[in-house]
Homo-oligomer: A and B are copies of this chain.
Amino acid sequence: MAQISLSRRLRRTPFSDGVEAAGVKGFTVYNRMLLPTVFESAEADYRHLKSHVQVWDVSCERQVELRGPDAARLMQMLTPRDLRRMLPGQCFYVPIVDETGGMLNDPVAVKLSEDRWWISIADSDLLLWVKGIANGYRLDVLVDEPDVSPLAIQGPKADDLLARVFGDRVRDIRFFKFDKFEFEGRELAIARSGYSKQGGFEIYVEGSDIGMPLWNALFAAGEDLHVRAGCPNLIERIEGGLLSYGNDMTDDNTPHECGLGKFCNTHTAIGCIGRDALLRVAKEGPVQQIRPIAIDGDAVPPCDRPWPVVAAGKRIGQITSAAWSPDFDTNVSIGMVKLSHWEPGTRIEIETPDGMRGATVRDKFWI
């Protein structure tokens, strides 16, 4: 495995000092920012995440802020999901598509008020698309990246930890809703959300200067809860079917191919830039789609490039994320498979770097 060469271009975060002190062993780069990938080991991190509570530096989920009279109109132009009934205090998972229906990002939209939104983005410079659209359509809206860095608290003890720092009211936050809480005189939005299936929160830390004070307060409060630094865990996110933009789908794919057709209200999302293209896709249906796939045999190597999926000697898809799951005693994976072979139970073959492996298409993810 190679080293990562650090430079200013790979941005540090308000929590990087804490992450390093906690002994981070690996990084990836996400939105040109450092994202930890492993502390003890992928498997030890996974076990701990499922048992206790972790603090994740997910500052790389940068925010695109929309402010002004046309903010809501612009937000609807970006996504085929109908946002008319979305209220301030809600978070919506929204595929973002271009004029051909290709996915540009799969962020969470955070509605702060009618004329102020955050888009908490996956790995692409969505800011540039949104700025280009706002400029081209002459919209009355400001678009920029504010000094907001999400910190995720994930795991079964997340409620207990957060209640100690912010009070018991955090327990009342419902899934994909947020409320405001005070820390050192600052109002912070805290949502019940996060990139794991173990429950927890994301704190939208506004102002880099309170990053380490908050990090330290969480660790001081949670010692007996076995709180420790963590990060999105490859094994757990595949088990749970949490897609990764850039890994499992790119701008080549429509939301329908990604199983996100339910977020495409193409008949009512008036104004969405990709609506015409997606109406067509919705009518005809996708010809390939993301599926959970169990791969036979011992632990597969790291999936650092698409692995061809074949059947009867023909390529019928690709695997884009894979890992050995200790809990399910199999290799869990995410792949894009053609219509002809996507029925649950279908046997397929995977070209891994270690050779061909048998595999089975599943009906659903593991958790």
Contacts and interface: CB of A to CB of B under 8 A. Distances in A.
Copy tally for this chain in the complex stands at: 2
Contact of A3 (B1, B125, B126, B245): B1
B3 A3 contact: yes
A8 B306 contact: yes
A161 interface: no
A305 interface: yes
Nearest to A30: B9
A270 interface: no
Interface stretch (A112-120, A133-141, A178-186, A190-198): A133-141
A4 B2 contact: yes
A7 interface: yes
Interface stretch (A20-28, A65-73, A84-92, A253-261): A20-28
A103 interface: no
A135 B139 CA distance: 14
Given A3-B3, A4-B28, A9 B246 contact: yes
A32 B302 CA distance: 18
Nearest to A320: B8
A33 to B, nearest CB: 10
A220 interface: no
Given A98-B131, A131-B98, A28 B2 contact: no
A189 interface: no
Contacts of A7: 28, 244, 247, 302-304, 321
A50 interface: no
A130 interface: yes
A134 B38 CA distance: 41
Contacts of A360: none
Label chain A's interface by main secondary structure. loop
B29 A2 contact: no
Interface in A91-135: 98-99, 104, 123-126, 128-135
B4 A304 contact: no
A331 B273 CA distance: 51
Given A3-B1, A26-B2, A247-B7, A99 B135 contact: yes
Contact of A132 (B12, B30, B123, B132): B132
Contacts of A44: none
A31 to B, nearest CB: 9
Contacts of A132: 128-133, 135-136
A24 B2 CA distance: 8
Contacts of A305: 8, 12
A22 B36 CA distance: 27
Interface string A21-62: 000111111101000011000000000000000000000000
Given A125-B124, A129-B128, A25 B2 contact: yes
A123 B9 contact: yes
Nearest to A145: B251
Contacts of A3: 1-4, 25-27
A340 interface: no
A304 B6 contact: yes
A232 to B, nearest CB: 11
Contacts of A133: 132, 135-136
A221 interface: no
A10 interface: yes
Interface of A: 1-10, 12, 24-30, 32, 37-38, 98-99, 104, 123-126, 128-137, 244-247, 273, 302-306, 320-321
